Amino acid sequence: MPGPPFGSPRSSGELRASLTSIRDTFSNRHHSLDFAYSHAHYLRNRILAVGVIFLLLTPLWALVDAMMLPRELWSITLIGRGLLLAGLLGVLLLARASREHIGRIRLSAGFLLALPAAFYALVLILLPNGDASRLAGYAFIPFLLVAALSVFPFTILESLAAGLALLWLLAFAQMVDGSWLTPAGFEGLWLLTSLLVVSLAANHFQLSLLMRVYRQATHDPLTGLLNRGALSLHLEKLQAWRREEQSSGSLPPCAVLMMDIDHFKKINDTHGHSVGDLILAEFARVLLAQTRNDDCVARYGGEEFVILLLNTPGDRAAEVAERIRRAVETHHFPDHNHLRVPVTASIGVASLQGDEAPEQALERADAALYGAKEAGRNRVMAAT
Ligand SMILES: Nc1nc2c(ncn2[C@@H]2O[C@H](COP(=O)(O)OP(=O)(O)OP(=O)(O)O)[C@@H](O)[C@H]2O)c(=O)[nH]1
């Protein structure tokens, strides 16, 4: 029996999506700066939560040490616990103070996992030979840390590096307690490796879910462009960035383009809503092709689009707008039969004046767009 007609393209699409998803969760090289900020924010919340748990457990376990170890050994672990506590406190303060600093947040995550591991290694080094077997609750530290990897939205590469370091720590502990290359030692290594594989899978699923949620919250599903909410955030960021630059003596020129497809209702009415959707998606592709990677291209709503041009003076912005207008006018927008649907757009351009809020420039661009429509459409008009 033949399969469903959508079978093979769908599965090859799924395969490609899975491969892209693995590439995106393997390392953060392909992550956009915006996603990197969201990712770091999420990571920071996890660091604060897990850091507090570690901070509470560390002094509590000193009681078990007190019961299990003779006084002179207990004092060694107590000093170690004091150092660990101070380190964890430092990590929490660093993470708390690093709201916008992606690098510092990643550093805090690294320290959060490295400190308990270093504490365990230090105790193993300082305890006299043979006394390591008297420790209770220490041998599970590498296992606890590998399991903790799954709580964080780490990339696979980050977790793999941490996991290998923890495998090394376990091997070192086995050499100290004499179980290295024994059946019990192999069992421990196998268990830790299996846990690491589970944690890597958890990292992959957690990070890809985070990406999907981020994308759904910030992108328009039809065109793949930024949505209006994400545009508002970009306008705020643009404002903050310009203020920062202004305080250091320079004010980068920026411009806002607001554009609208002409007589789009007529396109919908003539060719159907689904062709209207195709044209919106194709229009977005034209906009992306005509702009730089740094420019922010967003769907404002319906058939209205906004572009923020950074480091672009007004006359240059008007040239970009005119280039877009021409590209739209000459582009082949196909209907379902690949026949050309004539499409034109009207564009309003406003360059940011002094320390004017970008939202205000957007309003001026909107007024200019209205002027372009009034003047006959398929034209660029600069805001006053
Ligand atoms: N296919 C499709 N149509 C949409 C979408 N969003 C908005 N529209 C349609 O876009 C049309 C916009 O119509 P109008 O606001 O009258 O503007 P217009 O026909 O483009 O006329 P001018 O802007 O004055 O040139 C409406 O018919 C909406 O239904 C969408 O996502 N898909």
Residue nearest to ligand 1 atom 13, measured at CA: 265
- Contact 65 CB / ligand 1 (< 6 Å): no
C-alpha distances out from residue 241 to 100, 234, 258, 311, Å: 13, 10, 21, 12
pLDDT of the residue at 7 = 36
pLDDT in tens, 115-165: 999 999 998 888 877 777 778 788 899 999 999 999 999 999 999 999 999
Let me know: does 347 contact 257? Beta carbons within 8 Å.
yes
- Which has more confidence, 340 or 294? 340
Q: Which residue has the tokens 């980050």?
A: 158
Four-residue CA torsion sign, 9, 338, 289, 368: negative
Percent of the chain at pLDDT exceeding 90? 71
Residue nearest to ligand 1 atom 24, measured at CA: 263
Maximum C-alpha span of the chain: 91
What's this model's pTM, rounded to 2 decimal places? 0.77
Pocket test residue of 222, 258, 265, 370 for ligand 1, highest count of atoms within 8 A of CB: 265
pLDDT of the residue at 71 = 84
The Cα 20–Cα 63 span in angstroms is 49
CB atoms within 10 A of CB 188: 21
pLDDT over 90 (residue 200): yes
pLDDT over 50 (residue 305): yes
- Residue 375, exposed/middle/buried by CB under 10 A (0-12, 13-18, 19+)? exposed
pLDDT of the residue at 352 = 94
> What is the pLDDT averaged over residues 199-212?
93
pLDDT of the residue at 132 = 74
pLDDT of the residue at 290 = 96
| Relative orientation angle of helices 228-247 and 183-218, to the nearest 10 degrees | 90
Q: What's the length of the chain?
A: 384
Four-residue CA torsion sign, 266, 267, 273, 279: negative
pLDDT over 70 (residue 107): yes
- Which has more confidence, 71 or 383? 383
- Contact 264 CB / ligand 1 (< 6 Å): yes
pLDDT of the residue at 13 = 59
Nearest to 370 by CA among 260, 284, 265: 260
- Contact 326 CB / ligand 1 (< 6 Å): no
Architecture category of domain 228-382 in CATH: 2-Layer Sandwich (3.30)
Let me know: does 216 contact 227? Beta carbons within 8 Å.
no
CB atoms within 10 A of CB 306: 25
Q: Where in the chain is the domain with CATH 3.30.70.270?
A: 228-382
pLDDT in tens, 222-259: 999 999 999 999 999 888 888 888 888 888 899 999 99
pLDDT in tens, 4-59: 333 333 345 566 666 677 888 898 888 888 888 889 999 999 999 999 999 999 88
pLDDT range class, residue 329, cuts 50, 70, 90: very high
Let me know: does 347 contact 258? Beta carbons within 8 Å.
yes
pLDDT of the residue at 5 = 36
pLDDT of the residue at 131 = 77
Q: How far is the CA of 205 from the centre of ligand 1 (A)?
A: 38
Three-state DSSP at 270 gives helix
Nearest to 153 by CA among 34, 297, 24: 24
User: Using H for helix, E for strand and C for coil, what is the string for 309-376?
Assistant: ECCCCHHHHHHHHHHHHHHHHHCCCECCCCCECCCCEEEEEEECCCCCCHHHHHHHHHHHHHHHHHCC
> What is the pLDDT averaged over residues 330-338?
94
Pocket test residue of 303, 343, 377 for ligand 1, highest count of atoms within 8 A of CB: 303
Residue-averaged pLDDT of the chain? 90
The Cα 210–Cα 38 span in angstroms is 9
pLDDT over 80 (residue 167): yes
pLDDT of the residue at 17 = 67
- Contact 260 CB / ligand 1 (< 6 Å): yes
Predicted ipTM?
Answer: 0.95
Torsion angle of the four alpha carbons 352, 353, 357, 359, in this order, in degrees rounded to the nearest 10: -50
pLDDT range class, residue 197, cuts 50, 70, 90: very high
The Cα 370–Cα 280 span in angstroms is 20
pLDDT of the residue at 244 = 84
Residue nearest to ligand 1 atom 4, measured at CA: 302
Give 213-220's long-range contacts (Cβ < 8 A, gap of 24+): 214/35, 214/38, 218/34, 220/298, 220/299
- Which has more confidence, 326 or 177? 326
